[in-house]
Amino acid sequence: MKTPNLLLVAILLLFSCCKVEEPLPQLKNTYIESVTINGTEVWSGGNAIQIRPDSVVFRVVFSNPISRSNINPLKLFVSSNIDTSFILLNETDSNVLSFKIAKTLNYYTTYKLFFISGENLGVKLIDNYEYTFVTDLDPTPKFPIISDDSLLTLVQKKTFDYFWSYAHPVSGLARERLGSGETVTSGGSGFGIMTIPVAIERGFITRQQGYERMNIIVNFLNTKADRFHGAFPHWLNGTTGKVQAFSTKDNGADLVETAFLIQGLLTVQSYFKNGNTAEKTMCANIQTIWENVEWTWFQKNNEQKLYWHWSPTYNWDMNMPVTGWNEGLIIYVLAASSPTYPITKSVYDNGWARNGAMKNGKTFYDIILPLGEDRGGPLFFTHYSFLGLNPHNLSDTYANYWEQNTAHAQINYSYCVVNPRNHYGYGANCWGLTASDIQNGYTASSPHNDGGTIAPTAALSSFPYTPLESMRAMRFFYYTLGDKIWGEYGFKDAFNLNQRWFASSYLAIDQGPIVVMIENHRTGLLWNLFMQNDNVKAGLTKLGFSY
């Protein structure tokens, strides 16, 4: 038998053992070009808001063709411990993955979609991606549906109760805010005083009850409250009547707050002036308070403008002239109307109107804004001076004030609908930027200072100017947000849906305009009362107003 060639066998064995395998095809490095969630484009690290929880659809565009049959659920998933099963949707583009979440998600909940780097979908994803989305609010009504008219009355009644049940027990004045104890506010009390005729006419209280409360307030203001050249401070102690400093140097007269208080007192005076002997006596005491305000003193040595503050210890150090356009028109109207210390028209023209420099005339959202800063500023500019001063048919050299206030409110509304900063909740049903509490603070929100906080007083106090838009907002605040912001004294001060923050506070200066301006929208009651005052009519005529 022939012996095999051992060398040849060894070579054959070596080659058979070391046969080279074909290399696996290399996966292409791929990145995500774009993602949309329910049609809204969102970048990695960004977020989409108000996503329908029952139909969440993703469309992901990759830089290379993918294999939809090779999804790795460890590298593509949604957070929050939900069932992450996906339903793949048909796509003709091989670079696109479209899918929807099979499960209905929770309302007003934050979720994250993750793509983890590595091999997935037949490609090699070269980076991690994270996309946040927040589902929509639960639209189910939180309270039984009632008529719009009944809802208006309910809001007025509950809000009025802040000034009635929560008033300071000695002075009857409005506490500055919920929990402020002895601190009462002169301007906020002026707003609260104006709610008393509303409450009587609406049947929330009797005329006698209204008179008795007003008499306590008037007597306190006339005999106990600190005044400085007839003007009241911003804050008072509700028991002693002594000034409580608003800030270090703001420990004396505040002419703006005084004007808000006098506006309220004159309105109530018109309501009770033809009443019984006791009511007429109270009205005479209101007249005394009104006549004691030395408006001309606040011209600071006869300057052609009015100044906001004066202090017995710091004199004019605050140095804040009241110039337009802002909430201060009522100050100049009352100062011109004073039967004892009236300013001249030149003080109005030079100080308030700045000889026309307060004019704007630009167009925002197709709306011409006659006066003030671009986009109008915070909405309280349209409220505080016009609780009693009727803007209907009110005009002078500088503007028609119905057009001014309506334009301002509509611009504020339109800004929120457009929502350029992509805040959660903003839209046709949820709008209104004004001064209010914010999370950990207080600010005057406006299109120029918009951190996502909506204050119900903004839209609700704008009812005369935006009745349809304000009604939609009221329904949303009451039915959709429900008990998140509705409480013992009506709507709480503010909320921020981005931050999931809902104020627990109530502020007098925000509560009062809600009651008053809703009533002016419904009946014009407070406008009619204030505009009856002969001094006011003479002052408006002196300043060149038609009304």
CATH of the domain at 84: 2.60.40.1220
Q: Is residue 261 part of a domain?
A: yes
Q: Looking at 83, 118, 135, which one is the last position of a domain?
A: 135
Question: What is the dihedral angle through the alpha carbons of 189, 191, 196, 199, rounded to the nearest 10 degrees?
Answer: -130
DSSP structure class, residue 205 = S
Nearest CA to 196 out of 177, 178, 215 is that of 215
| 329 and 241 co-located in one domain | yes
Tokens matching residue 530? 């204030």
pLDDT at res. 9: 41
Rounded to a whole number, what is the distance in angstroms from the first to the last CA of the chain?
A: 133
| 88 and 191 co-located in one domain | no
| 90 and 157 co-located in one domain | no
Tokens 């939900």 label which residue? 82
pLDDT digits (tens, 9 = 90+) for 113-140: 999 999 999 999 999 999 999 999 999 9
Q: Which domain holds residue 426?
A: 139-166+391-512
Dist. CA 259–CA 52, nearest whole Å: 48
| 417 and 505 co-located in one domain | yes
Dist. CA 147–CA 119, nearest whole Å: 59
Dist. CA 32–CA 412, nearest whole Å: 38
| 180 and 318 co-located in one domain | yes
Buried b (16+ CB within 10 A) or exposed e, 62-97: bebebebeebeeebbebeeebebebeeeebeeeebb
In one-letter notation, the amino acid at residue 208 is Q
**Residues 133 and 113 sit within 8 Å (Cβ to Cβ):** yes
| 473 and 411 co-located in one domain | yes
| 144 and 196 co-located in one domain | no
Q: Is residue 406 part of a domain?
A: yes
Those residues of the chain that have pLDDT short of 50 are 1-18
Provide the number of structural domains found in the chain: 3
Residue ranges of alpha helices (H) inside 328-440 are 329-337, 345-347, 401-418
| 247 and 172 co-located in one domain | yes
DSSP structure class, residue 249 = S
pLDDT at res. 26: 85
pLDDT at res. 469: 98
Nearest CA to 86 out of 102, 75, 73, 70 is that of 102
Residues with Cβ < 8 Å from 331, sequence gap 6 or more?
255, 256, 259, 306, 322
pLDDT at res. 83: 62
Q: Is residue 523 part of a domain?
A: no
pLDDT at res. 108: 97
Nearest CA to 187 out of 296, 331, 316, 310 is that of 331
pLDDT at res. 453: 98
Main-chain phi, psi angles of 495, to 5 degrees: -155, 155
| 85 and 112 co-located in one domain | yes
| 320 and 236 co-located in one domain | yes
Q: Is residue 489 part of a domain?
A: yes
In this structure, what CATH number is given to the domain that contains residue 310? 1.50.10.140
Q: Is residue 72 part of a domain?
A: yes
Sign of the C-alpha dihedral, residues 354, 355, 357, 362?
A: positive
Q: What is the mean pLDDT of the chain?
A: 94
**Residues 121 and 70 sit within 8 Å (Cβ to Cβ):** yes
| 229 and 259 co-located in one domain | yes
| 172 and 162 co-located in one domain | no
Nearest CA to 232 out of 314, 319, 290 is that of 290
Nearest CA to 379 out of 464, 486, 302 is that of 464
Q: Is residue 239 part of a domain?
A: yes
pLDDT digits (tens, 9 = 90+) for 238-248: 999 999 999 99
pLDDT at res. 74: 87
Q: Is residue 186 part of a domain?
A: yes
Residues with Cβ < 8 Å from 472, sequence gap 6 or more?
428, 429
Q: Is residue 283 part of a domain?
A: yes
